[in-house]
Copies of this chain bind each other. A is one copy, B any other.
Amino acid sequence: MIERRKPIWVKEATEKIMELKRRGEMEWVSIEECDGRFLAAPLIADHDVPPFDRSPYDGFAIRSCDTLSGSSKNPLQFEVVDEIGAGQVSMKHLQEFQAIRIMTGAAIPQGADAVIMLELVKEETSLDKKIITIKRKVNAGENISFQGEDAKKGQKLLEQGTMINPGVKALLATFGYHKVPVAKKPVIGVIATGSELLRVEEPLSPGKIRNSNGYMIESQIIKAGASVKKYENCADDLESLLAAVKSAMKECDIIITTGGVSVGDFDYLPEIYKQIGAEVLFNKIAMRPGSVTTVAKCENKLFFGLSGNPSACYVGFELYVRPIIRYWLYSNKPFLRKATAILNADFPKPNPFNRFVRGRLSYDNGRIFVEPVGLDKSNVVTSVAWADCLIVLPGGTRGYLNGDLVDILLLEDQSGSDEQWKEKRRSSKL
């Protein structure tokens, strides 16, 4: 008995899922441990950066008006009246033809409006006085880093949902975040089904392959910014699968299963959904690979039923699970970043479906090229290891040629997009 499933568009599938999006809780972590976490609030400057006018170089703070007539033919002498290191503040107020020795990062003293670099002056001591000679005109403001030129108090510097990388961490430190408000990671339960699956440490045996999907998905979850809770590999056995699903419902925010979603006799997920009373949002999407991607909800929890085939599983996760995770992590750009690239290979076969082909980028002369990697089959695993993008080939065409412009989705980019790739001209029938 075969169930005839009705596929829906990528656009619709995305909308149905994103209706159920929600934000995670916020938690505070030490700045020492915030790498790779996601800001739960925008970062707003609570003071000017720099907080005071300061010197970007080692040199002498002077009054520019004193240098107006300076030249190699008319050297000018200044008396050095103080010396300030970084972190120090001079008590002196600079007078005519006075200078203050100033180190990189130190605050510009009162009265001064320029700095001349150490290398450009001659220093000498005369009658117990330190004297410098300047042979040029110095402009007002020269070699001063002005208060607020880097960031102004009140300025929004980073959006919520930004992943914390070295530059972000530098800003957090600048603004005194020894504790950082980040999104609490959602816990994603992973249940890999399939009686053909060996554990990774088992030797190969006839008809069986090792469970690679489970590890791949765990890694995708970690990369997306969530944490993993793994449930014992269920053979294709209804009772054990049901038990795992029930535990996961209690312990996890989102549940992913891999395999068991096809229409075959041994694919139990539809039955599981029935038994737990889950509402199936859809069980087929007009795309390859990953057409069997099934999404259900039960008691406010989302269930993602991904394909048991590695490429299909991978694509299903990146298109549908990742956005839910990134939104949870406070991002307003939870989808994969989009770009267009020039196809570097022919793809001649007619394309009834939207295809998401694993590809690899290259750059030349200001242009981006992309070519498919590995075999374009849903059960292929090498292509996933070699890919840094997905090439989107919309359905309803006679194929694609070398040189065609195609949409791509970037797998290694963290900035994201505020919308999913979607079908542009939606035909009325599927």
Contacts and interface: CB of A to CB of B under 8 A. Distances in A.
Interface stretch (A71-79, A133-141, A218-226, A418-426): A218-226
A309 interface: yes
A332 to B, nearest CB: 17
A265 B236 CA distance: 74
A166 B220 contact: yes
A281 to B, nearest CB: 22
Contact of A365 (B150, B151, B405): B405
A25 to B, nearest CB: 24
Contact of A86 (B35, B47, B170, B195): B195
A411 to B, nearest CB: 8
A339 B363 contact: yes
A2 B417 CA distance: 51
B174 A379 contact: no
Interface string A334-345: 000011111000
B85 A167 contact: no
A89 B58 contact: no
A123 to B, nearest CB: 8
Contact of A201 (B176, B203, B385): B176
Interface in A119-138: 119
Contact of A87 (B56, B106, B197): B197
A173 B49 contact: no
B103 A265 contact: yes
A17 interface: no
A186 interface: no
Nearest to A107: B207
A40 interface: no
A104 interface: yes
A65 interface: no
6 contacts: A2-B118, A35-B219, A88-B196, A150-B374, A170-B212, A388-B415
User: Which 10 A-B residue pairs are closest in the complex by CB-CB distance?
Assistant: A87-B196, A339-B363, A86-B196, A167-B384, A167-B385, A58-B264, A170-B216, A166-B219, A178-B201, A173-B212
Interface of A: 2, 4, 31-32, 35, 47, 49-52, 54, 56-58, 83-89, 101, 103-107, 118-119, 145, 149-151, 157-158, 164-178, 194-197, 199-204, 206-220, 222-223, 236, 262-267, 308-310, 314, 338-342, 363-368, 374-375, 377-388, 405, 412-415
